[in-house]
């Protein structure tokens, strides 16, 4: 065994890629992850990898080269841009006499530094413990077995490793219960917003695309924003008024990254629910990034993992101030495709076009109409209330004047209601008039 350095400030990076593939962007992103964690990159080592070596991940010769380079650079930490098995990680540490952290462990460390809210810290700790559970090793050789001292209790007891695993499993169970309570509270807050009929617009995108800066520019908030990966983790909500579709709630969410650890996706499921339950997604893209098409695909994969791939989107190309010639425009390349808006959140360029695109998108995706329903049609009124689709209502002798404000996808299933109410509701909501009255014998408009 060896004494692990606890500093972790001088990092040597190991980047393995298949033969014939060389993508400098992968190494640059990994170096940025290392710097975001607080490490200083003192060197890099590239390795051609046909398939992972079960012992060292890389071949024996490359592992020896890694050890020599680590000694020459006086590095106290080796970061591997790939997920390692516990055996591979342990063997590399033994060979190099240096602490080894894989990509998953590095991202978990960054999340642990950046989480600020109570539930964010719980989510990170849960993901860390799940990752750690496969990496417990025998570190208590002087306590080979715990033995009972009384008659009938002598003999083999639990190893320290078994005790560690049991304690860790108990802590994971405790954290999961706490997070379940947090999710219940989030769902209650979300239902409250649904009852207030305010549409939710969520900012999503690759990490460091400028989501928090854009959030601040659109809302006047002071959310922490920095030119680093995963600058903010915890979701923030703000109300925006004055749009074509009425007031909205804007949500800033955690950034995505390629090969985001599955444990993190699972642990942050309640946080990412702000994106999954949104009415509209603003997909923020770094317009100056030469790899932006790849980044878009990476974000789409994570959205599919959290069941948000089918939500309507507006593509927001940010950081146009970094382009050779700034562009400010709103476009829709095909009739069924998403709107594209070009902005600079830092300089406040294109924000009016963005807000107009949000209003336009929500207006087409939401139903906002006043209908008059007689007192005898309480079933239709009850269904609308159950869905949280009623913004306001007034009761008079003729019945209810109900203001419906809800996503169109929420209302359309009601078109199948029996007794003519579903057909009437569909006709009323598609009518060009502002107020429609249901009188059981047909529809009259005012």
What interhelical angle do 269-276 and 160-195 show, nearest 10? Answer: 20
- For residue 357, report the phi and psi dihedrals to the nearest 5 degrees: -65, -40
Residues 366 and 410: their CA atoms lie apart, in Å, by: 9
CB 259 within 8 A of CB 103: yes
- Which stretches of the chain score pLDDT less than 50? 1-2, 138-155, 332-335, 433-446
- Torsion, Cα 371 377 382 383, to 10 degrees, reads -70
Residues 177 and 399: their CA atoms lie apart, in Å, by: 46
Q: What is the pLDDT of residue 334?
A: 45
Q: What is the pLDDT of residue 177?
A: 81
CB 282 within 8 A of CB 303: no
Give one DSSP letter per residue of 333-346, joined into a string. Answer: SSTTSPEEEE-BTT
Quote the DSSP letter at residue 105: H
Q: 272-275: which pairs have CB atoms within 8 A and are 24 or more residues apart?
A: 272/306, 272/308, 273/183, 273/186, 273/190, 273/306, 274/200, 274/202, 274/235, 274/237, 275/202, 275/204, 275/251, 275/303, 275/306, 275/308, 275/311
**For the whole prediction, is pTM greater than 0.75?**
no
Q: What is the pLDDT of residue 63?
A: 92
Residues 361 and 166: their CA atoms lie apart, in Å, by: 51
CATH fold, domain 10-110, is Rossmann fold (3.40.50)
User: Considering only CA atoms, which of 123, 131, 110 is closest in space to residue 273?
Assistant: 123
Give one DSSP letter per residue of 80-102, joined into a string. Answer: ESS---HHHHHHHHHHHTSEEEE
What are the sequence ranges of the domains in the chain?
10-110, 115-138+157-195, 197-364, 374-445
Q: Domain 197-364: give its CATH code.
A: 3.40.50.300
Same CATH topology for 10-110 and 197-364: the answer is yes
Sign of torsion, CA 263 264 270 275? negative
CB 334 within 8 A of CB 300: no
- Torsion, Cα 388 394 399 405, to 10 degrees, reads -30
Structure tokens at 94: 């033994």
Q: What's the longest Cα–Cα distance across the chain?
A: 92
Q: What is the pLDDT of residue 68?
A: 94
Q: What percent of the chain has pLDDT over 70?
A: 72
Residues 59 and 16: their CA atoms lie apart, in Å, by: 11
Q: What is the pLDDT of residue 337?
A: 65
Starting at the earlier edge strand, list the strands of the sheet with 313-318: 236-240, 248-252, 200-205, 280-286, 313-318, 339-342, 330-331
Q: CA neighbours within 13 Å on the CB side: how many for 56?
A: 20
Residues 403 and 435: their CA atoms lie apart, in Å, by: 9
Q: What is the pLDDT of residue 8?
A: 54
Give one DSSP letter per residue of 122-186, joined into a string. Answer: HHHHHHHHHHHTT------GGGS-----STTT-S----HHHHHHHHHHHHHHHHHHHHHHHHHHH
Structure tokens at 72: 């020459």
Quote the DSSP letter at residue 290: T
> What value, to the nearest 5°, has the Cα angle with vertex 83 and ends 79 and 87?
90
Rg (the chain; Cα; Å): 28
Sign of torsion, CA 255 261 264 269? positive
Residues 367 and 298: their CA atoms lie apart, in Å, by: 32
- Torsion, Cα 276 282 285 286, to 10 degrees, reads -120
Q: What is the pLDDT of residue 134?
A: 67
Give the residues across from 313 on adjacent strands: 281
Structure tokens at 259: 């090969």
Residues 165 and 169: their CA atoms lie apart, in Å, by: 6
């Amino acid at each position: 065994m060896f004494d692990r350095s606890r500093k972790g400030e001088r990092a040597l990076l190991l980047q393995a890629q298949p033969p014939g593939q060389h993508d400098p962007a992968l190494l640059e992103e990994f170096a940025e992850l290392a710097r975001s964690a607080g490490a200083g990159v003192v060197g890099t080592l590239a390795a051609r990898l046909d398939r992972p070596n079960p012992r060292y991940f890389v071949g024996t010769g490359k592992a020896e080269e890694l050890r020599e380079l680590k000694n020459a650079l006086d590095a106290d930490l080796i970061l591997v841009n790939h997920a390692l098995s516990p055996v591979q990680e342990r063997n590399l540490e033994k060979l190099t006499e240096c602490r080894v952290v894989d990509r998953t462990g590095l991202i978990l460390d960054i999340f642990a530094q950046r989480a600020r809210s109570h539930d964010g810290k719980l989510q990170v700790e849960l993901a860390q413990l799940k990752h750690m559970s496969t990496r417990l090793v025998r570190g208590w050789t002087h306590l080979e077995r715990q033995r009972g001292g009384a008659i009938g209790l002598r003999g083999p007891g639990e190893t320290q490793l078994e005790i560690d695993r049991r304690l860790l499993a108990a802590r994971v169970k405790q954290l999961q219960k706490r997070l379940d309570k947090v999710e219940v509270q989030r769902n209650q807050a979300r239902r409250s917003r649904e009852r207030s009929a305010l549409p939710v617009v969520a900012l999503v995108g690759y990490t460091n695309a400028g989501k928090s800066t854009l959030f601040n520019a659109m809302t006047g908030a002071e959310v922490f924003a920095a030119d680093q990966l995963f600058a903010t983790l915890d979701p923030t909500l703000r109300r925006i008024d004055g749009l074509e579709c009425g007031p909205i709630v804007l949500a800033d969410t955690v950034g995505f990254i390629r090969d985001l650890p599955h444990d993190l996706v699972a642990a942050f499921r309640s946080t990412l629910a702000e994106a999954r339950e949104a009415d509209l997604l603003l997909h923020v893209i770094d317009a100056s990034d030469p790899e932006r098409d790849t980044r878009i695909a990476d974000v789409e994969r994570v959205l599919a993992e959290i069941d948000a791939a089918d939500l309507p989107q507006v593509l927001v190309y940010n950081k146009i101030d970094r382009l050779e010639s700034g562009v400010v425009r709103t476009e829709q390349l095909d009739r069924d495709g998403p709107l594209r808006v070009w902005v600079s959140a830092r300089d406040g360029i294109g924000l009016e076009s963005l807000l107009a695109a949000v209003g336009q998108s929500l207006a087409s995706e939401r139903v906002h109409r006043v209908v008059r329903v007689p007192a005898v049609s309480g079933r239709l009124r009850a269904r609308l209330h159950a869905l949280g689709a009623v913004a306001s209502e007034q009761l008079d002798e003729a019945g209810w004047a109900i203001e419906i404000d809800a996503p169109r996808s929420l209302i359309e299933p009601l078109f199948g209601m029996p007794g003519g109410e579903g057909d009437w509701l569909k006709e009323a909501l598609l009518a060009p008039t502002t107020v429609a009255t249901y009188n059981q014998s047909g529809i009259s408009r005012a």
